[in-house]
Structure 1
Amino acid sequence: MIDKKKKQLYQIFVTFMLCIIAAISLIPFIYLIITSCVNDMSLVFKNGIALKITSDMLDIGNYRLLFTDNNGMFFSWFKNSGIITILFTVLSIGFSSMVGYGVSMYKFKGKQLLVVLILSTMMIPVETLMIPLYNEIKSFNLLNTHLGVVLPFAVSAFTIYFFMQYAQSLSPEFMDAARIDGCGEIRIFLTVMVPLMKPAFASMTILQATNAWNDFLWPLIVMSKNENFTLTVGLQTYLSPYGNNYNLLFAGAVLSVIPVMIIFFACQKLFMEGMIAGGIKG
């Protein structure tokens, strides 16, 4: 009985501490939302960052201005980020899942060498590849295009390795049973293994979509026209040596979080299952 009470007290204490940590983590985002509605941003940065904001300082005019300023470029930036995120996520998950599944579930000569080569690419800093990749994209005439942003990083070693680890937790008996029923290898993957790998797909959907949506450096290098900018690059244009439009920057930053939150909450349950399964197997 005493042990049960101690366990309950421990759970209450842990829950209380997690709530405090969550509240502290949300404070910057809440402050961002509030300051995005301030009508005079000079009041926020007066004598540093002002934490005291009164109701008479708030207005939604920043959001109206965001959609009308600069010929409505915010819509264009938002659309470009959406297209790139969808393309990147679909290509990344599609190809990486096939590679990870094939390497994990099949035996062939040179398998260990292939795994080593895949994992070794994770040790190469991405920044060292920027110039060679830029020259490659330029030679294919893909500058200022969505494919130019998506293709170079569509398949990553981390995503392949994650699917490899998850596929190893699946029983090969499912494949054998499907072969007895006359299924080909492609059909086995699409109709048998993919449904079993839903948690892995959900996990990678959230991670890859978030990475694509928040990516800044590579789209900045590939895109040079204002109408082709992604949202992260476009919002950066509000900061310049000639003046900083923090009101538009803060409002755009708030709206940029919404798609990522929708994806996360839509895939949250499967995301946790996939991360736990991958972690246990790893």
Structure 2
Amino acid sequence: MINKKKKSTYQFCIFIILLIMAVVSLTPFFYLLVTSFVTDMSQVFKNGIALKIKVDMLSIENYKMLLSDNEGLYFSWFKNSIIVTTIFTVLSVLLCSMVGYGISMYEFKGKKFIIILVMSTMMIPIETLMIPLYNEINSFHLLNKYLGVVFPFMVAPFTIYFFLQYAQTLSKEFMDAARIDGCGEFSIFLKVMSPLMKPAFSTMVILQATNAWNDFLWPLIVMSKSKNFTLTVGIQTYLSPYGNNYNLLFAGGVISVIPVVVLFFICQKMFMEGMIQGGIKG
């Protein structure tokens, strides 16, 4: 009985801690959501950021202004973000899974060196690579193009290492059985091992899609035309030295969160499983 009480108390304490963390994490978004319906932003920033918002201050005018833009810039930014995120996520997950799987499941000379190389590249600050990457993209004539945003970072060392760790939890007996049945190495990966890696794929789809959707610095460097901006870059144009349009900024920020939230809830179960198994070395 004592052990059960201790266990119940422990679980209750953990629940309270997680609940507090959830409230703290969600409070900024909740405030963003509420203020996105406020038309008079002077009331929000009165004497700093005012937390006292009355019901009669709320309206959907901000969303009407955002979605009725004659130039259709917001829809262009939204479309650009969807295209960039989709291309980046598909290519990144496919290529990184093949690399991580190959390093983990096959024995070859220089394997340890490659693993060390992959891990060491994770320690390089991305900001130090911006100038050479820009010159490279410029030489390939990919400025103001989707591929210019996608190519430099689609094979990420962290993603490779995650798939490498996850593949180590798989049994090589599946590969041997498939070879006996006459499958080639590529077919083994696609038809036999990939289905076993679904949690890892789901986890990386969420993480990579979120990273691509929220990326700001690199799209800002590559895209110089307003119509080519991604959503994160485009929304920032509502803030300028000549005036800040917080009405559109807050409304656009709320809408921009929706795709990532939907994606997370779709892949939530496999995401948790993948994060747990990806950290277990078999």
1:73-88 alignment, distance < 5 Å: 73-88=73-88
Find the residue that maps to 1:51 and give its secondary structure. Answer: coil
Deviation by residue 1:149-176 (Cα, 9 ceiling, x = unmatched): 0001010111101100000110000000
Offset of residue 8 of structure 1 = 1.6
Aligned to 2:164: 164
Identify if the C-alpha distance between structure 1 residues 124 and 20 changes in structure 2 by more than 3 Å, giving closer, same or farther: closer
SS in 2 for 1:149: helix
- 1:5-53 C-alpha deviation (Å, 9 max, x unpaired): 2222322232123222212221111111000000111111111111101
| CA RMSD in angstroms, aligned pairs only | 1.1
Q: Which residue pairs with 1:264 in the alignment?
A: 264
Q: 1:29-40 residue pairs with structure 2 within 5 A?
A: 29-40=29-40
1:224-235 mapped onto 2 (5 Å cutoff): 224-235=224-235
Structure 1: any 5+ residue segments left out of the alignment? none
**Structure 1 Cα separation of the partners of residues 30 and 120 of structure 2:** 41
Structure-2 separation of matches of 1:115 and 1:6: 43
Q: SS of the counterpart of 1:281?
A: coil
Q: Which region of structure 1 is more displaced relative to structure 2, 91-100 or 67-76? A: 67-76
Give 1:206 shift: 0.6
How many pairs are equivalent?
A: 282
Give the corresponding residue for 1:135: 135
Q: Would the aligned equivalents of 1:91 and 1:154 in 2 still touch at CA under 8 Å?
A: yes
Structure 1 residue 201 and structure 2 residue 201: aligned? yes
Partners of 2:178 and 2:188 within 8 A in 1: yes
Amino acid at match of 1:240: S
Deviation at 1:131, TM superposition (A): 0.7
Give 1:93 shift: 0.4
Residue deviations 1:249-268, cap 9 Å, x none? 00011011100101111111
CA contact 1:67–1:73 (8 Å) conserved in 2: no
- For 1:119-198, what aligned pairs fall within 5 Å after superposition? 119-198=119-198
Unmatched tracts of structure 2, length 5 or more: none
Corresponding position of 1:109:
109
Q: Which residue of 2 aligns with 1:252?
A: 252
User: In percent, how many aligned pairs have the same letter?
Assistant: 72
Question: TM-score when scaled to structure 2?
Answer: 0.98
Contact 2:77 2:227 in 1 (8 A): yes
TM-score (normalizing by structure 1):
0.98
- Tell me if structure 1 keeps the 8 A contact 2:169–2:280: no
Q: Partners in 1 of 2:156 and 2:244 — Cα distance?
A: 36
Q: Deviations over 1:94-120 (max 9, x none)?
A: 000000000110011221222222222
Runs of 4+ in 1 over 3 A off after TM superposition: none
- Cα distance between partner residues in 2 of 1:108 and 1:154: 25
Is 257-266 or 17-26 further displaced after alignment? 17-26
Distance (whole Å) between structure 2 residues aligned to residue 13 and residue 215 of structure 1: 36
Q: Distance in 1 between matches of 2:99 and 2:221?
A: 29
Q: CA deviation at 1:67?
A: 1.3
